Structure 1
Amino acid sequence: MSTGLPNTWPRLLADIGGTNARFALETAPGVLEDIQVLPCASHPTLEAAMRSYLAEVGSRAVAHAAIGIANPVTGDWVQMTNHHWAFSIEATRQALGLTSLIVINDFTALALSLPHLPRKELVQVGGGDAISGSPLALIGPGTGLGVSALIPSPGGYMPLAGEGGHVSFAPFDEREAAIWRYARDRHGHVSAERLLSGPGLVLIYHALAALAGEAEQDLSAADITARGLSGDCPRCRETLDAFCAMLGTAAANLALTLGARGGVYLGGGIVPRLIDYFKTSPFRPRFEDKGRFSAYLAGIPVFVINSRYPALIGASAALAAHLEH
């Protein structure tokens, strides 16, 4: 994680999602303080949110910052996919008087955190032991669907910065094909994120209600989750089951693509809230339902990340590596 290079403390760390921005000051290697969560909608720009946070904590001068953001980072200009913020990395660095500002995809940051997460903050759902030196896969539904991985290399694990959440959704059976058709008729291309996300949970519910000839209720993802877990709404429970099964397919596809015998990690804001139900949900049976490769997948452990601010830990690791080199 972070090194003890002189004159670099505190460091500003941020994890920017489509809904909330999480900030912290790293005051010593691995020591995070003044963690705050700010609603993105409450600030017109990222710079304004950063200034608000720094003013609130009354920090002494910060020279170095790292941001993980729910968006592709392909150059200096960043335009968020699930929020209206757009900014130049260099212009933001200059405006805030920073010596260095690095911006990486939020799931790249989350991937970088995986080797540093305590075992007690991981909940294993099936599988055997992780194979040391093998790739680690990462997928997580929240406001969107994040995908990344850690790939072993001679110099240590290297994170992947991709946009795997936007691959085309692959239906597993006739029910999922019907849900896909419902989504396609309304949105055109149906990505994995279209269904495996908070808004996707609502879309699955509407599709299932329509397929059953029922009137659609105006329910939020939180409403559907609460009613599904309590058993008050059979359609909401069916929605959760379908969601977890679809996630099992997506996670297994990723595991096979990467050869992720080091484990599959589930991040994002949705699954940790379902953990007791999730352990016995359709996720694991679907994860292993891959015909000739079912035995291969049966041995791969899946870990739900049950850590409050793991992407901040990954941002710390990324900033440390930047300052070292």
Structure 2
Amino acid sequence: DGEWTPLSTEGGHVTMAAQTEDEWQLLSCLRREFPHVSAERLISGPGLHLMYRTLCVREGQPVKALDTASMMLIAETDLLVQRTLDLFAGFFGIVASDGCLTLGATGGCFVAGGVIPKLGTHFRREIFLDRFKAKGRFHQYLSHIPIKILLDSEAGLYGLQRALSTRSLARFSVRPQ
């Protein structure tokens, strides 16, 4: 109908896929700890820290107790933080394009959430875009989808507000049993 349609899904619980050797190795380590490694487990604030911890252990390095802000302060000089940020952006690109392919979301991909604003300039946009488009014969299809990175950490609530608008409320109402 030419309008935006917010969808309530549990897409974050899809199984995380890997494209590079580094991603395969990380997922292999994580699957020893978690039988199911979901997208949400990695593409989140806690996921960023989980990837960093896993890389430190895998490389035999001490795990520094870092919050996201502290990670950003040392991102220029700490190779494991840099690799963590690369992995985060790559996994995010994979999941975003999977969602666009699954839903036929050719009108745009809106990247939102609380962790992206915290990463600031350390969000690896180039890696995100490379992975977003790395779908073989669907590279061209995905190349035409506009991508917007939303820096408002509350952006998801706007979709909820739209879904709960008077026009949409009847579609989402639940009948008591």
Q: TM-score, normalised by structure 1?
A: 0.48
Contact 1:201 1:243 (8 Å CA) reproduced: yes
Percent of residue pairs identical: 36
What whole-Å deviation, never above 9, does each CA across 1:255-278 have from its counterpart, x for those lacking one? 111121101000101113334343
Describe how 1:29-44 pairs up with structure 2 within 5 A: none
CA distance in 1, matches of 2:133, 2:58: 27
Q: 1:237: how far off?
A: 1.2
Cα distance change on mapping 1:174 and 1:310 into 2, 3 Å = closer
Q: Which residue of 2 aligns with 1:234?
A: 79
Alignment of 1:276-291 (within 5 A): 276-278=121-123, 280-291=125-136
The 1:191/1:324 distance shift into structure 2, 3 A limit, reads closer
The AA in structure 1 aligned to 2:65 is: D
Alignment of 1:169 onto 2:20: no
| Distance across 2 between alignment mates of 1:221 and 1:324 | 37
Structure 1 residues 243 and 279, CA gap change in structure 2 (3 angstroms): closer
1:302-313 alignment, distance < 5 Å = 302-307=147-152, 309-313=154-158
For 1:259, the equivalent position in structure 2 comes to: 104
Matches of 2:147 and 2:41, distance apart in 1? 23
Computing the radius of gyration over CA atoms, which structure comes out larger, 1 or 2?
1
CA distances 1:19-58 after superposition (whole Å, capped 9, x unpaired): xxxxxxxxxxxxxxxxxxxxxxxxxxxxxxxxxxxxxxxx
Q: Name the amino acid aligned to 1:244.
A: A
The aligned counterpart of 1:204 is 51
Residues 125-136 of structure 1 mapped to structure 2, 5 A cutoff: none
Q: What is the aligned residue count?
A: 170
Q: Is the 8 A contact 2:111 2:148 kept in 1?
A: yes
Residues 155-208 of structure 1 show CA distances to partners (whole Å, capped at 9, x for unaligned) of: x44432210001111111221111112111112211111111111111111222
CA distance in 2, matches of 1:179, 1:273: 23
Q: Please name the residue that 2:146 is paired with.
A: 301
Q: CA deviation at 1:322?
A: 6.0
Q: Which has the higher helix share?
A: 2
CA distance in 1, matches of 2:51, 2:168: 45
| TM-score between both structures, scaled by the size of structure 2 | 0.83
Distance change in 2, residues 1:162/1:282 (3 Å)? same
Question: Can you list the C-alpha shifts for 1:37-82, whole angstroms capped at 9, x where unaligned?
Answer: xxxxxxxxxxxxxxxxxxxxxxxxxxxxxxxxxxxxxxxxxxxxxx
Distance in 2 between the 1:316 and 1:191 partners? 27
When residues 303 and 217 of structure 1 are mapped into structure 2, their CA distance, relative to the original with a 3 A threshold, is: same
Q: Which amino acid aligns with 1:234?
A: L
Q: What is the letter of the counterpart of residue 182 of structure 1?
A: C
The C-alpha deviation readout for 1:80-123, integer Å capped at 9, x for no partner, is: xxxxxxxxxxxxxxxxxxxxxxxxxxxxxxxxxxxxxxxxxxxx
Name whichever structure is richer in strand by fraction.
1
| Superposition CA RMSD, Å | 2.4
C-alpha change, 1:222 and 1:186, in structure 2 (3 Å) is farther
Alpha-carbon distance between aligned partners in 2 of 1:189 and 1:205, rounded to the nearest angstrom: 19
Q: Equivalents in 2 of 1:282, 1:189: separation in Å? A: 25
